[in-house]
Structure 1
Amino acid sequence: MTGAGVKRIQICADDFGFDDAISQGILECLDAGRISATSCMVLSPLWSAWAPALRERVGAADFGLHLDLNEFAEYAPGRALSGWIGQAYARRLDAQEVQTWVNTQLDAYEAAMQRAPDYVDGHQHVHQLPQIRQALLSALSSRYGRRCALRFTGNQSWRGPKAAIIATLGSAALRRGARQVGLRCNRDFAGVYDFGPEAQFPRLAEAWLASLPDGGLMMTHPGRAAATQTRADAIRGARVKERAFWLSAEAGEMLARLSVQLGMSEDWPLA
């Protein structure tokens, strides 16, 4: 903690590179000082066009790999998240193939950013699934030693059934693996909700940030309203609302009221 009552929390926008509208919205939130990290979809056809904007901001925020198996990846066209979960838990994925997928995305991140990722997480949290987490831990340890961090999806307090289900899909095992190889993880995780039209994001954000401890992480999904150039985006309405909130004076007042200072993965403890 940096001072009496002040807590450093990473506020991380997922899906950078998904399309122009999302990427531009994330940059606006970064430049407004409302978020402190973004996770990058390096298999998107637009990633290479947007990476230079992040390179210009290195040091001002954390930039990580958003490991993708089921959005832009061509590993298993049409396989839903449920299919990946089932295959991973049945240990039916080819371990060598999974290792190649992980390294290919790390290579793509490094090529565009000219540096290693500050941390790694997963699109729809696939990074914590069996077989996938082992491949990821192996790659991070061998490539970067202890320099890279990992997103932990576990919750220190109740944040709803959806958050609990996500956590049960591998958060504890991922943290144990990270501890074994000496990697850092966030202390607590928030930001999960149904993205529905009735959701009151400002109220949710305040509750999450109030409950998170120093070294915690809040996930967010801001974006502009323009139609995507890549594929259907089921949560576009929620993205627009989240961006509007982060760019409002209300968001700045909330961060100050809660004594939240934007943090980065360097604030996270060893797992």
Structure 2
Amino acid sequence: MKRIQICADDFAFDDAISQGILECLDAGRISATSCMVLSPLWSAWAPALRERVGGADFGLHLDLNEFADYAPGRALSGWIGQAYARRLDAQQVQAWVNTQLDAYEAAMQRAPDYLDGHQHVHQLPQVRQAVLSALSSRYGERCALRCTGNQSWRGSKAAVIAALGSAALRRGARQGGLRCNRDFAGVYDFGPEAQFPQLAEAWLASLPDGGLMMTHPGRAAATQTRADLIRGARASERAFWLSAEAGEMLARLSVQLGLSEDWPKA
């Protein structure tokens, strides 16, 4: 058997996504979810996670470009450009990270099990330094960190994401004694032609013990917050995780749902 963390991103984005994630958690098909604490719905949905503490990992989904008041007018490409040009204000970025960690702790009444980033912004230059500093000063070695590096080829999109800071983030995590996932999967284009069950099986078959697969399940209902461009993919992923096929696949691949405590130090 190998232990793999299957993590649903974007908890608290809206009601449909949050409910879909809870259904997958309760079905025993995923073992973690990453929380968007700047969403106006975070305080309403956090109690549902507090009721489930101990049965799964819950982490901070660092958000610079979705619900943050500093997000309007700056798309992900803008954040990447500003970060690589070192044009972000370091003190301001540090404050953003700490404010989101504060919001997580206030609602969950505990530290996050791990930290990752919405669209992987946590690994960008300047942002990763702020993340590493905050985790070290607040939690020591207790909070794990998602790394997007791949041990095997999983497509050009996954390679680009990893190239945007995965190696540097892992080096920083190593210096801080932090735990990171051994391998990472779950990247695809979210298009209607994607066959998620086949993708999930290939990813889980290739991931080693201590690896991580991200997923984005959610219901197909309307949103109360922001436009969700991958709603169709979310509904397809939720349908798969709640199916008997998913359970059979996990058993066939000898996959146990893992936690960030399974990850080695970087």
Q: What TM-score range do you get, normalising by the shorter chain?
A: over 0.9
1:173-222 deviations in whole A, cap 9, x for unaligned? 00000000110000000000000000000000000000000000000000
CA distance in 2, matches of 1:207, 1:161: 16
1:239-271 deviations in whole A, cap 9, x for unaligned? 000000000000000000000000000000000
Between Structure 1 and Structure 2, how many residues are aligned?
266
Alpha-carbon shift at residue 81 of structure 1 (Å): 0.2
1:128-171 deviations in whole A, cap 9, x for unaligned? 00000000000000000000000000000000000000000000
**Match of 2:116, SS?**
strand
User: Does 2:63 match 1:34?
Assistant: no
CA distance in 2, matches of 1:111, 1:262: 27
**Match of 1:184, SS?**
coil
**Match of 1:9, SS?**
strand
TM-score (norm 1): 0.98
Match of 2:150 in 1: 155
CA distance in 2, matches of 1:217, 1:78: 32
The partner residue of 1:178 within 173, 181, 184 is 173
**Match of 2:115, SS?**
strand
The partner residue of 1:20 within 15, 18, 22 is 15
TM-score (norm 2): 1.00
CA distance in 2, matches of 1:245, 1:78: 35
Alpha-carbon shift at residue 89 of structure 1 (Å): 0.2
Match of 1:104 in 2: 99
**Match of 1:194, SS?**
coil
Alpha-carbon shift at residue 78 of structure 1 (Å): 1.9
Alpha-carbon shift at residue 93 of structure 1 (Å): 0.1
CA distance in 2, matches of 1:196, 1:258: 26
CA distance in 2, matches of 1:240, 1:42: 22
1:44-99 deviations in whole A, cap 9, x for unaligned? 00000000000000000000000000000111412000000000000000000000
CA distance in 2, matches of 1:31, 1:43: 24
CA distance in 2, matches of 1:51, 1:42: 9
Kindly report structure 1 stretches of 4+ aligned residues shifted beyond 3 Å.
none
Root-mean-square deviation over aligned CA pairs: 0.3
**Match of 1:185, SS?**
coil
Match of 2:53 in 1: 58
CA distance in 2, matches of 1:187, 1:231: 33
- Structure 1: segments with no counterpart, 5+ residues: 1-5
User: Does 2:114 match 1:119?
Assistant: yes
**Match of 1:219, SS?**
strand
- Structure 2: segments with no counterpart, 5+ residues: none
CA distance in 2, matches of 1:239, 1:263: 22
CA distance in 1, matches of 2:147, 2:132: 13
Alpha-carbon shift at residue 37 of structure 1 (Å): 0.1
